[in-house]
Every structure is written in C-alpha cells, then in structure tokens.
Amino acid sequence: MSHYEKAIRPRTMTMVLEGEITGVELGDIAEMIFQLSADGVTHLVMDLSGVTHFDFRGVKPLMRRADVFRQLGGDIKLAGLSPYVHAIFRSAGANDAFDYFATADDAVAFVTQATTAENPVPAAALESLQG
C-alpha cells in the first residue's frame, strides 16, 4: 500500500477480548475505545471469540460508542461471538445495532473492501507516487 493510500484510508484496529467481561473490564474497554478514537482509529473490530460472558450492562454503552464512531465516518464491528454472547447482545437490544461477523478477519476484510469502495485511490495519484 502506498503512503497516499495510508493517508486517505480509515484506520482499522482489532481489539481482542477474552474471558468474562464484567463491570471492571467494561470500564477499561470503554477507556481503550475512547483512546483509540482519539488516536485516529475510525474502524474498530472487536474480536469476541474468546469471550465466555459479557455483562449485559455494557452493551448499551458500547452501542453509544459505536454511534460516535459512525458520526465520525467509522464504525465498530463485532466478530466471533458465541451463541451465548450473541444472545446477551440481542437481549440487551443490540441485535440491529452492530454488524456481526464469524471471524475478525471477515470483519476486517469487509471494512477494507467497504472503505476502498468509498475512497478509491485516483490512478494519477498512484502513478505520481510510483514515477
């Protein structure tokens, strides 16, 4: 990828979570998400494949953080949810609040494809960088 592409492409980060996500961890996660956004990350993929439980009280705040990302032209994608964790998200009202993916790689590929389609690199710009 050229320097030009890096400059215009949204920054995507994958956050891998594991174990039981309870109140203490939710505060840490919220702070990390805020910091990533402040650092210029526009698309966050949350890999929940290693999560065995997610406190339902953290779902709505996560939905609000995703809304902030969307207002800034990005998004939060969720990946690897077990049926149990997905049921927690559905029960907390987040069934339509997120895009869900089987794996983090699937989510990253989707974001990459979507952002490339939205922000194609002009051929003249690529030629000027190569020549």
* pLDDT value at 121 more than 90: no
Mean pLDDT over residues 85-104, rounded? 97
Reference 22, options 75, 70, 88, 107; nearest CA is 88
Average pLDDT over residues 124-131: 42
pLDDT at 1 over 70: no
pLDDT surpasses 90 at 122:
no
Query: What's the token pair of residue 119?
Result: 């922000």
Q: Is 104 helix (H, G, I), strand (E, B) or coil?
A: helix
Among 116, 59, 104, 108, which residue's Cα sits nearest to residue 79?
Answer: 104
pLDDT tens column, 50-79: 999 999 999 999 999 999 999 989 999 999
Nearest to 46 by CA among 89, 8, 90: 89
Looking at the predicted structure, is the pLDDT value of residue 7 above 80?
A: no
Query: Percent of the chain having pLDDT more than 70?
Result: 80
Q: Is the dihedral of CA 89, 91, 92, 98 positive or negative?
A: positive
Encode pLDDT of 23-54 as tens digits. 889 999 999 999 999 999 999 999 999 999 99
Measure the CA–CA gap between 13 and 8, rounded to whole angstroms: 16
pLDDT of residue 117: 61
Adjacency order of strands within the sheet including 99-101: 11-21, 41-54, 75-79, 99-101
Q: Which residue has the higher pLDDT, 46 or 1?
A: 46
Architecture of domain 3-130: 2-Layer Sandwich (3.30)
CA angle at 38 for the pair 1 and 97, rounded to the nearest 5°: 85
